[in-house]
Structure formats: C-alpha cells, structure tokens
Amino acid sequence: MTYDREALAAELTRDEGERLKVYRCTAGKRTIGIGRNLDDVGISKAETAALGITLASVLRNGITREQSRALFANDIAECERQLDARLPWWRTLNGVRQRVLLNMCFNLGITRLLGFRNTLAKMKRGDFAGAAAGMRASLWARQVGDRDERLAAMMEKGTV
C-alpha cells in the first residue's frame, strides 16, 4: 500500500462522522459507526464472531468505539479489495489520488463509483484535471458538499 492509511482514516472520519447509535444517512439507510451501511452491508458472520455483535444487537444497543473502529477497518479493506478487482490500475496512482478513490468507493460503493466511467478513464490515463472536472460536475458533487471539492483538488494536484 502506498497511501497514508492514517490520513485516509482521518479524512473519512471527518467526511462521514462517527456515531455509536444507529441513524439514517442522507440516502435513508440505517448507518452506524463511521459510515457502515447496515441495510446494504450489515454485520458479517466474521464480525459477529470477532466483535460479539449481530445486526439485531447493533440496531438495539449500538456499538462501542472499539467495535466502530473494527468495522471501519473492515470497510476500508473491502474498498481496497473491490478497487483491486475492478480498477487494478488504481494502485499505480500516487498515494493522495489512491485516497481519493478509496474515499469515493467508501462513500458511493463500488457499483456507483464505476458509474463515473469518463472520470475514471481520465484518472487511468493521467488526465487528473479532467478527472477533477468530472468529479465536480457530477450529481455526487452536489450531494456531498465540501467533500467533493476537497477530493477533486486532491485528484487534480496529487497533493493535499
């Protein structure tokens, strides 16, 4: 891994927030921790075994900060796996641009991220100004507020 995982975690925590009780995200999905979508992702059997929680217990009681951080680490790892499988070239980008793709995958999910076909093609060929423009022109940009501008600037410049 060439990206700064601590920087990514700080960026995602800023963008997503952290709540230990279930809430509805802007898309109406039940969410907990740092952006864990309980409706689409839930709690895996491995997480139940490792953390002693189930979907039912999380909905009823919430989670601890330690459980939140464990779910968060699993979600980042899953984004990495999905990017490796679907966009293997993402690993050739510098660390800042890798964080942009991870942040977007975390927020959108891989399926919606793949909908950015033209923007992703520009990233792949190194047209980072064009990719940033595509990010700024998207519906997603209008939905996520300042997050889009931060990520677009990171993509364009390759620095924070």
- Residue 33's DSSP bridge partners are 19
Is residue 7 a contact partner of residue 99, using CB atoms and an 8 Å limit? yes
Please write the tens of the pLDDT for every residue from 72-87. 999 999 999 999 999 9
The larger pLDDT score, comparing residue 26 to residue 105, is at: 105
| Domain ranges, ordered by start, for the chain | 5-157
Please write the tens of the pLDDT for every residue from 101-133. 999 999 999 999 999 999 999 999 999 999 999
Q: d(Cα 83, Cα 52) in Å, to the nearest integer?
A: 29
What's the burial of 132, exposed, middle or buried (CB within 10 Å: 0-12/13-18/19+)? Answer: buried
CATH placement of domain 5-157: 1.10.530.40
How crowded is residue 66: how many other Cβ atoms within 10 Å of its Cβ? 9
pTM comes to 0.92
